[in-house]
Structure 1
Amino acid sequence: MAFLTVAYLDTMGKSITMSDLRELVGEDNEGQPILGNSVERTLNSFLEPTKRDPEALGWLTHENDADDRRRKYLRLTLEGQEAATRFIEAYQGRALKE
């Protein structure tokens, strides 16, 4: 869900950070964030591979905010765009069969 939310917003030309994503998704009925700290661990697997996480998929990258270097926006890479497109096409094909 988190990756697809980032993919959707990125294709719409909207910028989002991890903390923005948590806020956007909101809280559950008990007031707890639906996307807690685990969202960072989850999205890290979609980021570009690093020494720390060489198995990462490379579908997302960080882009620094020009005015505030502490803010890092999540952006789709070319591979991420292709993956999101494949997912949407597969979902649409499945939905049409049902």
Structure 2
Amino acid sequence: MVQNPPPWLHQALRDARLRYPGYAFDVVARLVPNPSTGGQVTLFRLVCGDCPGMLYHLGPGDTLSNFEMHLKDAHHRHRAQERMHPRRSLL
């Protein structure tokens, strides 16, 4: 059974959405095998709505620092701006 995201992740997402308004990102959860218990554990990743096909690890620790590096990347910013402010056709 997929677990709910931990409280620190909810807070980190709220903070990131305030710092990066208009950017499209969310958490995805996936059950993966846990070799130490033989059961399953929920693994959380971040997905960027502007950069399809990319999943980002959380961290380091209880942070979104790895993902924030992506949000500051010039390629991501360009894609996000294109989505938020599409160019109008001249035809």
TM over 0.5: no
Higher helix share: 1
Task: Please identify the structure whose Cα radius of gyration is greater.
Answer: 2
TM-score (norm 2): 0.31
TM-score (norm 1): 0.30
